[in-house]
Amino acid sequence: MLSLGGNFMKSQHTFALSFYLKRENELNGKAPIYAKITVDGKYLRLALKRSVEPKFWNQRTQRLLGNTPEIILLREKLRQVTNEINGAYDELRYQKKAITAQAIKSKVEGQEEGKTLMYLIKYHYEHQGSLLAQGTIKNYYSTERFLKEFLKRKKLTDIQLTALDFRFITEFAVYLRKKEPDRAQRPCTNNTVMKHMERLQKLTGLALKFGWIITDPFLNYQRHIIKKDRECLDMDEISALWSLEIEDNSIMLVKEMFLFSCYTGLSYNEISRLTNDFIKRESDGSLWIEMIRQKTLNTSELKFHVPILPEALGLIEKYEHSAESLFKGTIFPSPTNQYMNRCLKIISRLAGISKCLTFHVARHSFATTITLENGVSIESVAHMLGHSSTRTTQIYSKVKKKKVASEMNLVKLKLHPVIRKVV
């Protein structure tokens, strides 16, 4: 077996090169010569397109025997291939690219190198990005940034897709968990790490479909999401917000947009783009919001309808004719999301609510306090939230102690007469 001497010692990879005869393909008394390139225990064969009589080959020393003109030419060919493979290995190291047997073979054969992780991410943005909501794309940007930081720690700028394996993805997950957050960043919780791993898995799934990789690196990887109770407001807290008087009109707007979300389940993005075109009147005179959730362009599954409750209608009538709303062409003169979040912190403090108010909390409050706790079926709630499956909605269906008590009191009323009769 031929090794690379000093290069082997400096590399973090195990790398070996050997030659052998493929006796089973012997033809006219000659067997073809092959090179075997091994990196980190994985190997590929490279055909030299040369043959020799087995009696002139010593497998133990991997040397050609004899000094005939034909043997001398073959010996030179082996030397040339050895230099080319060594050179390909050194070039990959110098360029800080992923070192695999396939990458070395591709360089020696002059073929196009396999697709890389950064190429895959770029392809995903260009060809799949138009199908995703802007918020989802932003999440992919975050995953891309962390992948680049992880590669940099490994002294790489990119990596061949064929080099992605179970070890790579598990080490990436560990990196996310241990990563010191940058300024204004929060540490990665378990569920945050799992979201990044989910996005990476979707990317590698795309590579599998295109045949850019053969083996799924996530084959034996299990993502584990820790289920948490979704924070929501109870009716006392929602009532506290309704009765809260705020002199600053901008902060009052934020409070009432939050309440609008509590009574419709609309996200911040949906409220911001809500216009009269999305409000439909039915034959019975009832008003409904009819929109499409902008997760993907799969509009057949994500169209949703929400009946407008009196509380929500009052807020529409208050703001739809305001100067700023008329200028923007929307129902609400929506401030930026960052400004809204700052105001919600002020509002929660003024209302004496200890929970961190976000539009996710408002949406959860609609799902739990306004609808599920008042007997609306989970199937109807799923439709109003724009969920394609009730499994997604089930994360909102937190059963509260007071609701259990209320329902059990009804059971007691039914059971007591029977109990007295038995006694």
- Per-residue pLDDT of 99-127, as tens digits, reads 888 888 888 876 556 688 999 999 999 88
Residue 219 lies in a domain: no
pLDDT band at 400; cut points 50, 70, 90? low
Shared-domain flag, residues 57 and 126: no
Asked if the model's pLDDT at residue 351 lies above 90, the reply is yes
Shared-domain flag, residues 94 and 130: no
Residue 414 lies in a domain: no
* CA gap 291, 285 in Å, rounded: 19
Shared-domain flag, residues 270 and 345: yes
Asked if the model's pLDDT at residue 298 lies above 60, the reply is no
Cα 368 to Cα 131, 254, 265, 385, 393, distances in angstroms: 30, 22, 10, 12, 10
Higher pLDDT residue, 420 or 71?
A: 71
Higher pLDDT residue, 146 or 114?
A: 146
The pLDDT value recorded for residue 381 is 85
Specify the pTM. 0.55
pLDDT band at 404; cut points 50, 70, 90? low
Residue 388 lies in a domain: yes
Asked if the model's pLDDT at residue 376 lies above 80, the reply is yes
113: exposed, middle or buried (C-beta count within 10 Å: 0-12, 13-18, 19+)?
Answer: middle
Shared-domain flag, residues 364 and 280: yes
Q: 17: which strand partners?
A: 2, 37
The pLDDT value recorded for residue 6 is 38
Shared-domain flag, residues 204 and 274: no
The pLDDT value recorded for residue 325 is 87
* CA gap 396, 232 in Å, rounded: 9
Cα 300 to Cα 270, 275, 292, 293, 306, distances in angstroms: 18, 21, 9, 10, 17
The pLDDT value recorded for residue 254 is 94
Shared-domain flag, residues 82 and 122: no
Please state, as a whole number, how many other Cβ atoms lie within 10 Å of the Cβ of residue 5.
Answer: 9
Nearest alpha-carbon partner for 376 in 353, 356, 396, 352: 396
* CA gap 58, 344 in Å, rounded: 80
Asked if the model's pLDDT at residue 420 lies above 60, the reply is no
The pLDDT value recorded for residue 7 is 40
Average pLDDT, the chain: 84
The pLDDT value recorded for residue 393 is 65
Q: What is the mean pLDDT of residues 288-308?
A: 73
Asked if residues 53 and 27 have their Cβ atoms less than 8 Å apart, the reply is: no
Shared-domain flag, residues 261 and 202: no
Asked if residues 241 and 232 have their Cβ atoms less than 8 Å apart, the reply is: no
Shared-domain flag, residues 151 and 260: no
Report the share of the chain in percent with pLDDT over 90.
45
Residue 98 lies in a domain: yes
Residue 408 lies in a domain: no
Residue 122 lies in a domain: yes
Helices (H), 51-210: 69-94, 101-109, 117-127, 134-153, 166-178, 190-210
Chain segment 58-78, per-residue pLDDT in tens = 999 989 999 999 999 999 999
Over the range 378-412, which residues count as b (16 or more CB within 10 Å of their CB) and which as e? beebbbbbbbeeeeebeebebeeeebeeeeeeeee
Domain span at residue 33?
A: 6-109
Asked if residues 268 and 135 have their Cβ atoms less than 8 Å apart, the reply is: no
* CA gap 397, 339 in Å, rounded: 30
Asked if the model's pLDDT at residue 300 lies above 50, the reply is no
Three-state DSSP at 273 gives: coil
Residue 336 lies in a domain: yes
Least confident of 72-76, 304-308, 390-394: 390-394
Residue 74 lies in a domain: yes
The pLDDT value recorded for residue 277 is 92
Q: What is the mean pLDDT of residues 156-179?
A: 90
Asked if residues 196 and 176 have their Cβ atoms less than 8 Å apart, the reply is: yes
CATH number, domain of 305, equals 1.10.443.10
The pLDDT value recorded for residue 128 is 81
Shared-domain flag, residues 242 and 376: yes
Shared-domain flag, residues 160 and 267: no
Total domains in the chain come to 3
Instruction: Name the token pair of 22.
Output: 């493929």
Higher pLDDT residue, 312 or 401?
A: 312
The pLDDT value recorded for residue 423 is 44
115: exposed, middle or buried (C-beta count within 10 Å: 0-12, 13-18, 19+)?
Answer: middle
